[in-house]
Structure 1
Amino acid sequence: MQDPFASLYPQHLATVRERADQALALGGFDHLLIAAGAPPRKFMDDQDYPFVVNPHFKHWLPLTDAPGSWIAYTPGSKPRLIFVQPRDYWHVVPQAPHGYWVEHFDVTIVRSAADAMAALPAGHRAVIATDCPAVDGVETDDTRANNPQDVLDYLHWYRSCKTPYELALMREASRIGTRAHRAAEAAFRAGESEFDIHMAYLASARQTDAELPYASIVALNEHGAVLHYTNFDRTPPAHPRSFLIDAGASAAGYASDITRTYAASHAPEFQALIDSVDAAQQGFVAKVRAGQSYSDLHIHAHLVLAGVLREHGFIRMSAESAVESGVTGAFFPHGLGHPIGLQVHDVAGFQQSERGGSIARPDGHPYLRMTRVLEPGMVVTIEPGLYFIDMLLAELRDKPAAADIDWAKVNHFSQYGGIRIEDDVVCTDGAPENLTRDAFAQS
């Protein structure tokens, strides 16, 4: 049976090569060298942290576990993979490269990272890797050659627009993630602890913590107010009221990033608020269209969520006043979302053009992770939220707008922590493609 991604890969690689040709010409380089990287060593120890491959490396091929290996590309020539397969009886030795992509590379197998570096071409080389200059022993006379900014700016700008092959892998990552989300919700309904819910998620995804694209957030009750809660209580709460899970999955190095919030069956008031945030979120998703400023969409989200707060009786002021006075910032303190792809928070979210530059965040919104105008092929997350965060609410109480807030209601809802709903959405030439909702519909 043919791999479903095999037919899409050749055109993807052709696109990656074409972009590399342009980037190298822009920087005046003869070769592009991309290191897979190496796992960092634990402090004062002889063990390593889990290996995380260089995203530029896995952009060329679906190989995520090849520490010490390199891709060497010269325009006009077949790309080379210099693959490290060490002589090692302490660990499992990586299998020789195989799969639908191998025929598109000249593969050289070596026994050490030093051998791999010795096999790299000489000349004027652009090197993309960590620890520059002197990348893993690869010395250059021109320090511009180590992660050259003009080359990176060009590659990052165009990496924002995904090829059909990349979108197929992101659909697969969404299918894995939503399947695991279903298992996590079932564990919550069964009264399991945060730790056991997380174990159910991993078992369904069939991925280890290290294989997931980011550390999962599994939060019950008040813990949902901690935006990056990763504590995993081993004991379930006596009275489970709410459940917020932010967890993704990986497919050949591509990420999904999915968040859902659930109310216990005895908490209809919280379910009603979830339903309103969900409806608002779907409205934001519908605006993921070519030509839409992501910054403007973020500000629009604040206005809509202010309306939700007013509708549910948390505030008495107008939506415009709630945004201008900073009230919505206390309930929705993060950005609407971010680019996603080879990295969960993917590159070039602020970039002005293929030559670099930066588009500033709107005043008063320091945590927004994207300011670009949307283009077909971009994939972004849309993740509005409403939270009851003690620290931010304490600060809000000292502001004049506090007089127009129903604090008794706010205090009551603090027991639920908060709400976040997140989908991964493709900007197309027409209506957006919601990778997450489509995957949930199939799971």
Structure 2
Amino acid sequence: MDKNLYADHMATLCRRYDEILESCGFDTLNVFSGAPRMQFLDDNPYPFKVNPQFKALVPITDNPNSWVIYRRGQKPKLLFYRPVDFWHYVPPAPQTFWSELYDIELLSKPADAREFLNADNAAFIGDADRFQDWTLGEINPETLINRLHWARANKTPYEVACLREANRIAVAGHRAAELAFRGGASEFEINQAYLSATGQGENTMPYGNIVALNEHAAILHYTHLSTQRLPGTELKTFLIDAGADCNGYCADITRTYSYADSEFAQLVAAMDEKQLQLVDGLKPGLPYPDLHRQCHLKVGELLAQFDIIKSSAESAVESGLTRPFMPHGLGHFLGLQVHDVGGHQSGPDGGTTPPPAEYPFLRTSRTIEENQVFTIEPGLYFIDSLLAELKASPLASEVNWNKVEEFHPYGGVRIEDNIVVGAEANENLTRACEVEY
């Protein structure tokens, strides 16, 4: 990663943190990376996941018991945990593109951090359960966290570079996964091909990979990973929703493939066109729920085009007929977390702006701004439970159920790209990486 790009990023962060700390009445921020938690009745820990507020300050995702101490107007201090341990891997002291911008102290024991912490006029962010007798400062002050969350929606060039690289890594995995699918691999084998191509393990992935064959594509968060291989005569479709990590930043990409040249393949191609139209509709000043409503209109157009419904797209949106076929939100903020924070926040000080009542699962209700990063992921599914409710509703007569039965074995289709909002034009991180691949 470019050293100067990171230096500019840190200069922006320092200005941001200085302003936020001053406005909240704090001089110092103590941020804990987190610590492993033991599994119940076991001596093995759960996989470690870093405190996102820690990796917001320093690109370390895999070293528990570390700290960032940020004091207004001063160079941040990193307390980096390096135990004396012959059982486990001990990371080297940081010497990389970012390390010169921190005063680094090495800790051999977690308790050694205590002597560096200053609780005077300080705030602490992290899990405080293990520090019952420590003086940390005010623990997880709501207004401070709200302001940090609000500011995180605006990405720096360094952050965009990390997201771009995460997309490049993920696209390599998606290419390998498609080849494995075409070769008749099982869901489990496809996932292994993905992990191998990305060079990242399951604990590094920003979320559990969704690798779904046939009707499993109708399960929105399907992560079962069946080991069963299907003969070519039974293979119909493949949906993969999988990402990658770069310096703690996430990619989140979905693609759907038809095994054969079929009407479902035409539906996938048509959804791809609609998705790109929605990407172009992502504009500064537009409330995100308005774009979600445009998504439902486009889903309605597909339902009418493929003779799944008898009504027009407009009336299908008005009546709610599109909702059983597209039950989730159009997309969400993307960054240090795959569902990045602040999507429903009303303002820097907090408050919640809920999504529209008719679209309760929409993760973003904010107005779109330049330098924000979103996923755009329209879908169209044939989900048993939602279809059963629809069939029992007054809208049942508006559906061509024979057509639904034809598409049902394919599960569904979703296309998802990662988009940086620009003043004049957006950057589609995912498609640009596909072209380069």
Q: Which residue of 2 aligns with 1:379?
A: 373
Q: Which moved more, 1:89-98 or 1:241-250?
A: 89-98
Whether 2:174 is the aligned partner of 1:181: answer yes
The answer (yes or no) to whether the contact 1:35–1:70 under 8 Å persists in 2 is: yes
Tell me the CA shift for residue 118 of structure 1: 2.8
Shift of 1:397: 0.5
**What aligned pairs does 1:264-283 form with structure 2 within 5 A after superposition?**
264-265=259-260, 267-283=261-277
The question of whether the paired residues in 1 share the 8 Å contact of 2:189 and 2:227 is answered with yes
CA contact (8 A) 1:286 1:432 kept: yes
322-331 or 76-85, which moves further after superposition?
322-331
Alpha-carbon contact 1:31-1:125 (below 8 Å) kept: yes
User: Which one of 190, 202, 209 corresponds to residue 216 of structure 1?
Assistant: 209
Q: Residues 310 and 317 of structure 1 are in contact (CA less than 8 Å); yes or no, is this contact kept in structure 2?
A: yes
Which ranges of 4 or more aligned residues in structure 1 deviate by more than 6 Å? none
Residue 45 (structure 1) aligned with residue 39 (structure 2): no
Equivalent residue, structure 1, for 2:75: 78
Aligned: 1:147 with 2:145 = no
Say yes or no: does 1:321 pair with 2:315: yes
Distance in 1, matches of 2:401 and 2:236, equals 20
Distance 2:350 2:422 in 1: 24
Distance in 2, matches of 1:212 and 1:353, equals 31
Pairwise mapping of residues 303-318 of structure 1 onto structure 2 (< 5 A)? 303-318=297-312
5+ long unaligned stretches in structure 2: none
Quote the offset at 1:79 in angstroms: 0.5
Deviation at 1:131, TM superposition (A): 4.0
SS at 1:150's partner residue?
Answer: helix
Cα distance per residue 1:6-56 (max 9 Å; x no partner) = 120011111111111111112211201111111221111111111111111
Aligned-pair CA distance for 1:137 = 5.2
Counting matched residue pairs gives: 435
Give the structure 2 partner of residue 65 of structure 1: 62
Instruction: Give, in whole Å, the separation in 2 of the partners of 1:208 and 1:103.
Output: 29
Write the distance in 2 (CA, Å) between the matches of 1:137 and 1:321.
62
RMSD after superposition = 1.2
1:228 aligns with 2:221: yes
- Three-state SS of the structure 1 residue aligned to 2:179 is helix
Residue 366 of structure 2 is aligned to residue 390 of structure 1:
no
Provide TM-score, normalisation by structure 1.
Answer: 0.96
Q: Deviations over 1:203-250 (max 9, x none)?
A: 000000000111000000010000000111101123111000000000
SS in 1 for 2:240: strand
Q: Distance between the aligned counterparts of 1:244 and 1:18, measured in 2?
A: 43
* Letter paired with 2:305: E
Distance across 2 between alignment mates of 1:122 and 1:87: 28
CA distance in 1, matches of 2:334, 2:185: 31
Matched with 2:237 is: 242
Following the alignment from structure 1 to structure 2, what is the Cα–Cα distance between the partners of residues 429 and 343? 24
Q: 1:168 aligns with which of 147, 161, 167?
A: 161
Q: Among the aligned pairs, what percent are the same residue?
A: 47
Counterpart of 2:308, as a letter, is F
Structure 2 distance, partners of 1:86, 1:420, is 45
For 1:165-184, what per-residue CA distance to the aligned partner results, in whole angstroms no more than 9, with x for missing partners?
Answer: 00001000000000110000
Conserved? CA contact 1:290–1:375, under 8 Å? yes
Q: Does 1:114 align with 2:111?
A: yes
Instruction: Give the AA of the match of 2:170.
Output: G
TM-score by length of structure 2 reads 0.97
Out of 181, 197, 211, the position equivalent to 1:204 is 197
Instruction: Describe the shift of the 1:137–1:286 C-alpha distance in structure 2 as closer, same or farther (beyond 3 A).
Output: farther
- Does the 8 Å CA contact 1:331/1:389 hold for their aligned counterparts? yes
Partners of 1:78 and 1:188 lie apart in 2 by 50
Give the secondary structure class of the aligned counterpart of 1:196: helix
The amino acid that maps onto 2:26 is F
Residues 350-365 of structure 1: matches in 2 within 5 Å? 350-365=344-359
Residues in 2 aligned to 1:98 and 1:364: alpha-carbon distance in whole angstroms: 51
How many angstroms apart in 1 are the aligned matches of 2:399 and 2:35? 52
How big is each residue's C-alpha offset from its partner over 1:123-163, in whole Å with a ceiling of 9 and x where there is no partner? 1211110246x7575435x7xx2111111111111110100
Which AA in structure 2 matches 1:193?
A: S
Aligned equivalent of 1:339: 333
Q: 2:187 aligns with which of 194, 198, 201?
A: 194
Which of 4, 13, 18 lines up with 2:15 in the alignment?
Answer: 18
| Within-5 A mapping of 1:119-130 | 119-130=116-127
5+ residue gaps, structure 1, are: none
Match of 2:290 among 286, 290, 296: 296
Shift of residue 363 of structure 1?
Answer: 1.4
Shift of the 311–135 alpha-carbon distance from structure 1 to 2, 3 Å rule, reads farther
Query: Does residue 254 of structure 1 match 2:253?
Result: no
**What is the alpha-carbon distance in structure 2 between the residues aligned to residue 246 and residue 429 of structure 1?**
29
Q: Is the 8 A contact 1:242 1:262 kept in 2?
A: yes
Query: Does the CA contact (< 8 Å) of 2:82 and 2:91 recur in 1?
Result: yes
Structure 2 CA distance for aligned equivalents of residues 13 and 135 of structure 1? 29
Residues 128 and 139 in structure 2, CA contact (< 8 A), matched pair in contact too: no
**Where in structure 2 are the equivalents of 1:396-411 lying within 5 Å?**
396-411=390-405
Alpha-carbon spacing, 1:148–1:175, altered in 2? closer, same or farther (3 Å): same
Specify which of 430, 433, 436 is matched with residue 439 of structure 1: 433
Q: Distance in 2 between matches of 1:130 and 1:287?
A: 40
Shift of 1:121: 2.0
Q: Deviations over 1:253-283 (max 9, x none)?
A: 1000000000012x42111001111111000
